Amino acid sequence: MILVFGQTGQVARELAARVPEALFLGRDAADLSDPDACAAALRAAAPSAVINAAAYTAVDRAEAEEDLATRINGAAPGAMAVAAAELGVPFVHISTDYVFDGAGTAPFAPDAPVGPLGAYGRSKLAGEEAVRAVGGVHAILRTSWVVSAHGGNFVKTMLRLGAERDSLSIVADQVGGPTAAGDIAAACLKIAARLAADPGKSGTYHFAGAPDVSWADFAREIFGQAGLDCAVTDIPSAAYPTPARRPHNSRLDCSSLQAAFGIARPDWAESLSGILRDLGHTPRP
């Protein structure tokens, strides 16, 4: 039995569609602000593998709530990793491109120097470090720009705004790989199964949709597939200030994931078509 931390988030919802028999722990059963309770729930469940798909994801609010973000994103995964290691089961933990500073234009390799720009990135980095320090069978899967038919995300925001307006100004100097939550869920399940058979594949990996694209060009593809007549004007990040700084370069080198697990970068435009269908749209070819 697989244990999943998370119940209503984008990746957790997609995991539930693929492995409904798994045990999904929401906040009522495992409050991530209480790391000891999370570890106790894991020990009590005695699963065959653990996927942590829960996190504090409010990037801007984290600037004012860094202690809480770090407890949820840092201490809780560390406690989960300890309990998973005690049981001798694989632990798959989802992390983020925000652990990097976003400098340059080259894709970040898993072993590239980290340098988060804000509280959210620091909290996720703390979680990575805690999981690694335990030394159990694990995979840290860094991903980027998560989208799906569930919750709040860029695709759903663009569909709403694109239906209301004739034009939008979208940031064009941030580049990364949009990644469908369904693709992340499928990758996590494959990684967990392989780790059970080959613990030596433990480590940190990257997974993101291809090809890399700017937010502005991503918006254009969303409008094009959805048949929305909404023009996009490119703007710099400086024209759209936010409490937390975003990395300009979110490109991730995913080659080691393909080498170790045979998981290739998914075509995000194809995944987008599936999301639009789930939302009741008929994507244009």
Known catalytic residue at 98 = no
Q: Which positions ≥6 away from 63 have C-beta within 8 Å?
A: 118, 119, 243, 244
Contact assessment for residue 142 and residue 99, using Cβ atoms and an 8 Å cutoff: yes
Q: Which positions ≥6 away from 123 have C-beta within 8 Å?
A: 56, 62, 66, 69, 70, 72, 73, 74
The residues pairing with 5 across neighbouring beta strands, listed in sequence order, are 25, 52
203 sits in the region (left: phi over 0; alpha: psi -120 to 50; else beta) called left
CA 193 vs CA 110, 169, 190, 201: distances in Å: 21, 43, 5, 11
In eight-state DSSP terms, residue 86 is H
The active-site residue, picked from 98, 120, 205, 240, is 120
CA 239 vs CA 6, 178, 187, 236, 242: distances in Å: 35, 22, 36, 6, 10
Which residue in 255, 252, 275 sits closest to 264, CA to CA? Answer: 255
Separation CA 45–CA 193 (nearest Å): 18
Active site residues per annotation: 120
